[in-house]
Each structure stands twice: as C-alpha cells, then as structure tokens.
Amino acid sequence: MPKLAKNKPHGVLQNGFFATVNDYPIAGGWGLKGKLFAVGDASGSVHAFDGTSGQEIWKHPQAHIGGIMSMSVSPNGAQLASVGQDGQLAIWNFADGQLQHRTEIASGWVEHVAWSQDGNYLAVSAGRVVTNLSSSGEKIWSSKNHPSTVSALGWVTDQELSTACYGRVTFFNSSTGQENERLEWQGSLVSLALSPDGNIIACGSQDKSVHFWRRSNGQDSMMSGYPWKPSELAFSHDGLLLATGGGEDVTIWSFEGKGPEGTTPGVLEFHQAPVSSLAFSPHQRNLASGCREGGVVVWSVGKKGSGRGLGGAPVNGSV
C-alpha cells in the first residue's frame, strides 16, 4: 500500500486549477502542447481552459444537442473533434474554438471518435457502423453493420483501423474500408487497447475477463478473475505493460519474455472504489489511475508490473 495522503494533493500531484462546466464532464483532452484543456459535458457544451491558470478561453454552450459522447484531439494538438447524441461530428480549431466543419453521421448517437496517428483520418462509430472521414470531415467510407453496437475503436497504424463489438475485433483498411482481418471471441467485448507496435490487441469482456491476441502468430489468451468487467485498459509506451481495471485494484500484466501467460500480475492497491480511468505517460512507465469515488494516483511501474505511488489527489466526483 503506497503511503499517499487521501485528503489532499501529495507527491508529484499538486494543486492546479479548478473550473466548472455546465453539466457532468464526459470527455476531455489537452491541445496545443498542453496550453489548453478542453472539456465536453452532458449538456452538450464544449469548454476550453488555459492549461496553467484555468481561465476559460472559449466555449460553445450547445455544441451538440442532447450531450457530448466523445472527443478526440488531433495529433498536432491543433484540432478538436467532438461527437454527440445529435448524431453529428464537429471539428473545432483548438486555439480559438472556431467551428471548422460539422457533418451528420447518423440519426442516433455517435458514441466514439478517434484521430489516426498521422492526423489524416478521423474515425467515428454510431450504433453498428463505423465511418472513416478525412481530416477535414469528408466521408471516405462506412462499414457494413457489425453484429452489435461498436463498443470501442482504435487505430493500429495510419493505414489500419480496429473496432470491437460482441464476438469479434475487426480490422479495416483506412483508405478503402476493406476488412483486413477478424479476431473472434464468443463474448461481449466492452473495451479495446492496442500495443504501440500494433501486435497485441487487448479487450475487456462482459464476462469479467481480459482477452488478448498476438497478431504476429495468431496466439490468443485470457486473463480472468476480475470482480467487474474491465472497461479500462492501457498499454505502456513501450508495449511491455498492460494496465487493467475491473475492480478497486489496478492489475498490471507484463509482456516481458514469454509473459503474461503463466505469470502473476502486479497489483496496485489504493483506491476504495472501482477503477474508472487509466493512462500511461507517453514517454515512461508512469501510470495515472482514477476511481469512481474521486481519487487520482500516479504510480511508477516496474518491468514486472509492481509499482509504487508517486503522488495522489482527491477529486470531487467520479474520475
């Protein structure tokens, strides 16, 4: 158990700024190399704040009628894409909030949005269909219906998009929309994470397990025994570690050597409520975890998955 204070910021986490939005925050993201932070909320508003002072720089009170579902920041940090319950995709200039493009995607909710690593493509999903668009918002292709609602999507490379749904992970050519491969699993897949080299595909399942595949050799494995479904997954920058939620503890699987098969995972204990958010540092094996009762912890994680707390802070509400 790390020695972290539970009632005040501690260690590497210190007081920053506090800001409010119109309703419950749904999604957020840093832009312009950390100069601005954007938040989309349940009322459909989008706000951008100065990353240091917290001053509100711009806002759109009705960016999406009904509410925000997801947001994604372009790789260069200059654009913000948002999707909502109104079935629309909006692309904003991150610096000043100017609307650059808006397009109708579906008659219902658009649940997910993600930029490709090179910023040339923008993928969105609505119901059982995934659509790929250009960086300017022009439609390139839409998939056929998946067997069920698309639960997650992610870019393997600039030329390949992956989706998860009930029973399978599907890989699409980003230019043509042609299916490259299917990985099948008889269960409801609720989350998806990709190793940086695109070789390992990990999915959390409704049956309280994590299933993963190695595309290089077709091998698949499963880690079970979670108290809840693992909706939170994150790979380290080097692809060596996979952090998973699915309970109050953070479970870390190491892919060093022949792992994680036949190995015991690292367990990071601190949270008193189910883990609701995980994010690795883009340059080192530091992991941030958040929980439903409002706490954030930063961990330093070793190659085997063990870790120590570097700092923590209370947050008013679920992270």
Cβ partners under 8 Å of residue 48, min gap 6: 31, 36, 37, 38, 39, 56, 57, 58, 59, 80, 94, 97
Q: Report the distance separating Cα 266 and Cα 285, nearest Å.
A: 14
Task: Give mean pLDDT in consecutive 10-residue pieces for the chain, a chain of 319 residues.
Answer: 56 83 96 98 98 97 97 98 98 98 97 98 99 97 98 97 98 98 94 97 97 92 95 98 98 92 94 96 96 93 94 86
Long-range CB contacts (within 8 A, 24+) of 90-96? 90/63, 90/64, 91/122, 91/136, 91/137, 92/46, 92/60, 94/31, 94/32, 94/36, 94/38, 94/48, 95/32, 95/36, 96/57, 96/58
C-beta separation of 250 from 287 below 8 A:
yes
Domain spans, the chain? 25-145
Give SS3 for 32.
Answer: helix
CA dihedral for 224, 227, 232, 233, sign (positive or negative): negative
Query: Bridge partners of 300?
Result: 286, 308
Residue 318: its pLDDT value, please?
A: 86
Give SS3 for 34.
Answer: helix
Q: Which residues of 105-131 are buried (b: 16+ CB within 10 A; e: fewer)?
A: bbeebbbbbbbbeeebbbbbbbbbbbb
C-beta separation of 19 from 54 below 8 A:
yes
CATH architecture type of domain 25-145: 7 Propeller (2.130)
Q: Report the distance separating Cα 126 and Cα 151, nearest Å.
A: 10
CA dihedral for 155, 168, 231, 108, sign (positive or negative): positive
Maximum distance among all alpha carbons in the chain?
A: 52
Residue 271: its pLDDT value, please?
A: 93
